[in-house]
Chain A
Amino acid sequence: METNKIREDFPILKRTMSGKPVVYFDNGATTLKPQPVIDAITNYYTYLGANAHRGDYEMSGQVDDAFEGARKTAQKFLNAKHVEEIVFTSGSSMGLNEIAIMVTRQYLKEGDVILSDESEHASSYLPWLQAGKEKGTKIDFIPLDEEGKITIENFKKVLTDQVKVVALAMVSNVLGFTAPIKEMAKICHERGILLVVDGAQSTPHLPIDVQDLDVDFYVLSAHKMCGPTGVGVMYGKKKYLDELQPVFYGGESNARYNKCGDLILKESPLKFESGTQPIEGVIGMAAAMKYIDSIGKENIHEYEVELKKYFLEQTKDLENLIVYNRNAESGIVTFNMKDKGQLIFAQDVASFLNTQGIAVRSGQHCAKLLPDILQVPATIRASFYFYNTKEEVDRLVAALKEVTLENCVDIFF
């Protein structure tokens, strides 16, 4: 992979942070945007301009082409069987909320169980918790193994006749382990269980084929894969999307209605897209998908894993470093630093790294059940992407060698 050439596509990499060239290692939170994505968004505002699906004029027609073209791009990107299976949302969180509400209302009854696990992001867990309160559904947890990953053995242990939904992330946003989705899908379908997959952290890094994985629902956020914020995809198998009643109602999703209370909705996916969509976002997302495809997901994953291995090699003598996910095959390194045998609070380390021009995340990374497993209140997460370099990893390693409690407090003076 020609990283130096790729970096030229990202204008933001020329900026500084704390007076130093920025090292952006917070890709798990959001990713930077390449010029083709920025251009696609700008082109909507400077040229296309109109709303989608509404007008009888040339500009509007061009918007329709771009908008529905983006849906086809997304279909191809995920290898969905039908274009109608691609619903635009504001992102993974919205998609997961809609799925949880619709599935709970229409398919579940009191006492039914949704399987989750303690490494889930809030967006994969809380929607089921809240949606289930009216119905009286229950959440059970797939036990994580000693490293914090999901195994088929542990999954099978908690499968009961009450389990009707399994809802989990394909890649954990904290530890970066990949769940055995394909195998889980097979087991789910033998038992009539729906499999809902949060693809926020897998889509940007791994080749995704929803037909091969055989997932029932899959969501993604564009901004985590070089696209704009506020837009994403909710994929659902056609048979389910055809049956489900949307959560939101309004313009564009209905075909006709009258004063008697009759309502005829449009077919999927439009019935799920009430109101004007983020058109520039959808177009920008398609540009991001094409950009990612031009680099190749296999290459991306391989390169991220290589950066992580390089980090682990370069820090093998750094005794104050504790890495929690050494064996996870991804570009995520979750760690803490010690000083004189005592853990330094994660946020203090992250703030120190900021003064060195390095962006990382500290905290619980929206997975608030996980600290019980890791037995630390918070961690630092460095998440790599394909535009990061070994030289940037060197800068992180050099900065970590300087981390002491004193240096972390010194930043305030």
Chain B
Amino acid sequence: MAIDPTLLREIIMDHYEYPRNKELIQDDSYLSRHMASDSCIDDITVQSKIANGKIQDIRFDGTACTIATSSTSIMTELLVDKTVEEAKEILENYFSMIDQKEYDEDLLEEAVAFQNVGKQANRINCATIGWKAMRDILKESEGE
């Protein structure tokens, strides 16, 4: 894919050094998912407020590596204000990209920065931890 790697790297660095929405909230109207059992190190919590079929807010916090932090930060920006259906489609495309399958890069915007994360197979979990948390939250919001 013809995207300048320098640009992709800058996206990751920027979201790692200045993570967006990295603050949890005490509010019962938020659904929350603590991801601590997938790996030994990364330990993050994702929260989201979903109302009327639409994602109103996404937040996260925790201790995590560059890839886990930046990928979760990008996810929070990308999915906010989307409908649950739109968000599910984006999630599906993101996981396809990570698995080196076909995906729609227009839907993923900055998240395409992680297109090569599979080159370091042990880091796939880092690139998906926040996204899996959000996938679980969406399922929960639909009563699954």
Contact = CB atoms under 8 A, between A and B. Distances in A.
B13 A412 contact: no
A378 B97 CA distance: 29
A409 B116 contact: no
Contact of A347 (B5, B41, B43): B41
B114 interface: yes
A351 interface: yes
Contacts of A410: 9
Q: Which of B63, B65, B123 has the most CB of A within 10 A?
A: B65
A410 B43 CA distance: 23
Contacts of A120: none
Interface in A299-351: 344-348, 351
Given A363-B40, A378-B41, A345 B64 contact: yes
Interface string B6-35: 001100110011000000000000000000
Contacts, number: 55
Given A351-B120, A354-B120, A405 B41 contact: no
Interface in B29-76: 40-41, 43, 63-67
* Chain B interface mostly: helix
A410 B7 CA distance: 11
Contact of B13 (A354, A363, A406): A406
Contacts of A413: 5, 8-9, 116
Contacts of A347: 41, 65, 123, 126
Interface residues of B, number: 23
Contacts of A345: 41, 64-66
A411 B116 CA distance: 9
Contacts of A344: 66
Contacts of A412: 9, 12, 67, 114, 116-117, 119-120, 123
A345 B66 CA distance: 7
Interface in A359-413: 362-364, 377-378, 405-406, 408-413
A351 B116 CA distance: 14
B41 A377 contact: yes
B125 to A, nearest CB: 10
Interface of B: 5, 8-9, 12-13, 16-17, 40-41, 43, 63-67, 114, 116-117, 119-120, 122-123, 126
25 contacts: A345-B41, A345-B65, A346-B41, A346-B65, A351-B122, A377-B41, A377-B63, A378-B41, A405-B13, A405-B16, A405-B66, A409-B9, A409-B12, A409-B13, A409-B16, A409-B66, A411-B120, A412-B12, A412-B67, A412-B114, A412-B117, A412-B119, A412-B123, A413-B8, A413-B9
